[in-house]
Structure 1
Amino acid sequence: MHLGILEQMPAPKGMTTEDTVENTLSLAQYAEELGYERFWFAEHHATKGMTSSSPEIMMAATATRTHAIHVGSGGILLPQYSPYKVASQLLQLQALFPGRIEAGVGRSPGGGERVRSALADGKENQLGEYPDKLEALVEYVQGQSSQGLRATPRTETAPAIYSLGLGENSAELAAQLGVGYVYGHFINPTRGQAAHEIYRQNAEHNTPHAMSAIFVICGESDDHAEELATSQDLWLLRTEKGLDSRVPSVEEAKVTRKTKRDQQKIRENRARMIIGGPRKVREELESLSESYQNDEWLILTNIADVEEKRRSFSRIASLFK
């Protein structure tokens, strides 16, 4: 089983942005040692705790600190930007780090309307133009002419492009344009099998590549994992309410009062995760892989304890060597 990491870079409570960034770069180095194949960065704006707002810069910093692991975005908010500019950035990165650059792109607005408008410099909502922008991006990075222009610098190999999505329509678009596909199980756990099936059926390129992104916490035992997961449970609950997106400690999570609706939401959110000791994590990942027929998993782990987070990734990697 192939494994990668998708890092949203939420800062643990009490930790500075600078320390969070440094810990993330250290984690990327460790991930390479463990055998993870790729390390991707999300793009989030105007949040209290998310510290990954410029995945391209984090990609460059990570590639500088590592040797061979692929680095990418998951994902760049393409509707808000010029495909020509995005392609130029990716090609520049590819020239610096040949064969290691990937870009997952998606149609998310990146936040509320004020955030979307600020990112797009006041332009009207262009979410509906995502298919056209994705097609233009693919043409630019592959050295083709789009609208009479070619993106530079030209590189011997093109950065790999992936389209992020949550269902059949996004999977069909990725297949039609000949790009990789990433299904966000960690956002919507209900459409993965159908999305991956549509992608496989419609992929016309020779080497289709489908991944799924999922929250995973692997503890020493099921009970240990459940304890660690209380941190992520409360973080996700608060983040979805638009509250504090810094990651609370296990201790804070245990003493925080939760309404019946909060408790129900936490239970519902568990469908987006795999939480357990090594045996349970392996069994559930293998079961989902059999259902999805995906090529790779991108793992997210958002807990406050930095060392426990590293140990979780280590346990997951050891399961599939």
Structure 2
Amino acid sequence: MISLSILDQVPVPKGRDAAEAIYQSVQLAKLAEELGYKRYWFAEHHSTKGLASSAPEILMAHAAARTHSIRLGSGAVLLPQYSPFKVAETFHQLEALYPGRIDLGVGRSPGGTKKTRLALTDSIPKSLTEFPRQLQDLFFYLTGTLPSDHPSYGITASPVVPSSPALWELGLGENSARQAADLGIGYVFGHFIHPGRGQEAFQAYYEGFKPSTLLEEPSGITAIFVICGETDEHAEELAFSQDLWLLRVEKGLDSRIPTIEEAKSYTLLPDDIEKMKANRNRMVIGSPETVRKKLMLLSEQYQTREFMVLTNVYSFEERKKSYERLARLQF
């Protein structure tokens, strides 16, 4: 059986504001719980008008207080910019508030432009090469297993909680998969970012997995853009806004989601058309049956039984309906 979850970047449609986008995200989290989705994760993005999730920890708490059972998570905390100890304490706090419902997803992403990265670290340059060490330290703090020769030995991430948040690494290839496997934590492959190394990444993860105090068996998730329409034609109509939005984001232009009408009237250069075609490899778009077949095929290729879905279309009502259709699929 395939499980479904949602990764929410809290996209801001053109003509709307961040407050409205956040309100809609919470309504979507409540709907996801009703529909039987397993997890609802919030992304982390900075210095952008088009994505309103800069502090996933706050949105997690906000959504958790308005739901009852769905797991809330981060997808992903930008660990290179932060202190592993502070991240561990933040998520211990969430676990104390909502025990058994908290997922801590972390990633190696630098978090934006050089100026943005330096602003996040208070102008102290930090190297991405430190990420493996930071991830290991985060595991130690979360589980209370600091070795005696560790510089921080003797301190404890508080509040002390009887259960630890689940720890996941988000990555795009074999290196991140091996790190997750070696630590014995969950692995999320970002198909929606770069689908090229999915099979290799999951193979490395499953073959190298070592059980840990957090996870006894390997657990993999595929994160992917999905638009599930009434028909293939309807899904393609909805996809106009997501196609142009993603193209603009990659070009450093307006990061708000355009209307379908604006997307249809936008003048595309030949390079734009080719880029949009290439971006379709990051997505599954179609009728319920088309989506079901494509996800089943990808599940077999990746050997994963959980998909974390992003649907960034202009209309909030259409966005909800896409998730509703997806939830009704029989896998």
Q: Work out whether the TM-score is over 0.5.
A: yes
In 2, Cα distance between equivalents of 1:125 and 1:258: 38
In structure 2, give the amino acid aligned to 1:204: K
1:297 aligned partner: 307
Query: CA separation of 1:320/1:123 partners in 2, compared to 1, >3 Å: closer, same or farther?
Result: farther
What pairs up with 1:185-264 in 2 under 5 angstroms? 185-205=191-211, 206-264=216-274
In 2, Cα distance between equivalents of 1:110 and 1:70: 24
In 2, Cα distance between equivalents of 1:127 and 1:61: 30
SS of 1:211's equivalent in the other structure is strand
Paired residues, what number? 321
Deviation at 1:154, TM superposition (A): 1.1
In structure 2, give the amino acid aligned to 1:55: P
Deviation at 1:215, TM superposition (A): 0.2
Query: Is the 1:40–1:59 contact (alpha carbons within 8 Å) kept by the matching residues of 2?
Result: yes
In structure 1, give the amino acid aligned to 2:269: T
Gapped regions of structure 1 (runs ≥ 5)? none
Query: Is the 1:13–1:248 contact (alpha carbons within 8 Å) kept by the matching residues of 2?
Result: yes
In structure 1, give the amino acid aligned to 2:218: P
1:280 aligns with 2:290: yes
Query: Is the 1:101–1:159 contact (alpha carbons within 8 Å) kept by the matching residues of 2?
Result: yes
1:153-175 C-alpha deviation (Å, 9 max, x unpaired): 11111000000100001000000
Deviation at 1:225, TM superposition (A): 0.1
1:86-105 C-alpha deviation (Å, 9 max, x unpaired): 00000000000000000110
1:72-130 C-alpha deviation (Å, 9 max, x unpaired): 00000001000000000000000000000001100111100001111111112221100
Query: Is the 1:95–1:155 contact (alpha carbons within 8 Å) kept by the matching residues of 2?
Result: yes
In 2, Cα distance between equivalents of 1:154 and 1:178: 22
1:197-245 C-alpha deviation (Å, 9 max, x unpaired): 1000000112211101000000000000000000000000000001111
Deviation at 1:142, TM superposition (A): 0.9
1:318 aligned partner: 328
2:81 aligned partner: 80
In 2, Cα distance between equivalents of 1:320 and 1:101: 27
Query: Is the 1:144–1:150 contact (alpha carbons within 8 Å) kept by the matching residues of 2?
Result: no
In structure 1, give the amino acid aligned to 2:288: P
In 2, Cα distance between equivalents of 1:296 and 1:118: 35
What pairs up with 1:9-24 in 2 under 5 angstroms? 9-24=10-25
In structure 2, give the amino acid aligned to 1:298: M
SS of 1:191's equivalent in the other structure is helix
In structure 2, give the amino acid aligned to 1:285: L
2:161 aligned partner: 155
Query: Is the 1:176–1:203 contact (alpha carbons within 8 Å) kept by the matching residues of 2?
Result: yes
User: Which residue among 163, 170, 187 is the counterpart of 1:164?
Assistant: 170
1:309 aligns with 2:289: no
In 1, Cα distance between equivalents of 2:19 and 2:80: 29
Deviation at 1:143, TM superposition (A): 1.9
1:241-269 C-alpha deviation (Å, 9 max, x unpaired): 01111000111111111111111111010
When the two chains are superposed, the root-mean-square deviation of aligned CA atoms in Å is: 0.9
1:130 aligns with 2:131: yes
1:10-37 C-alpha deviation (Å, 9 max, x unpaired): 1000011111100000000000000000
Query: Is the 1:213–1:299 contact (alpha carbons within 8 Å) kept by the matching residues of 2?
Result: yes
In 2, Cα distance between equivalents of 1:18 and 1:98: 28
In 2, Cα distance between equivalents of 1:68 and 1:140: 26
TM-score with structure 1 length normalisation? Answer: 0.99
Structure 1 segments of 4+ aligned residues over 6 angstroms from their partners:
none
TM-score with structure 2 length normalisation? Answer: 0.96
In structure 2, give the amino acid aligned to 1:297: F
In 2, Cα distance between equivalents of 1:22 and 1:207: 36
1:176 aligned partner: 182
Identity of aligned residues (%): 53
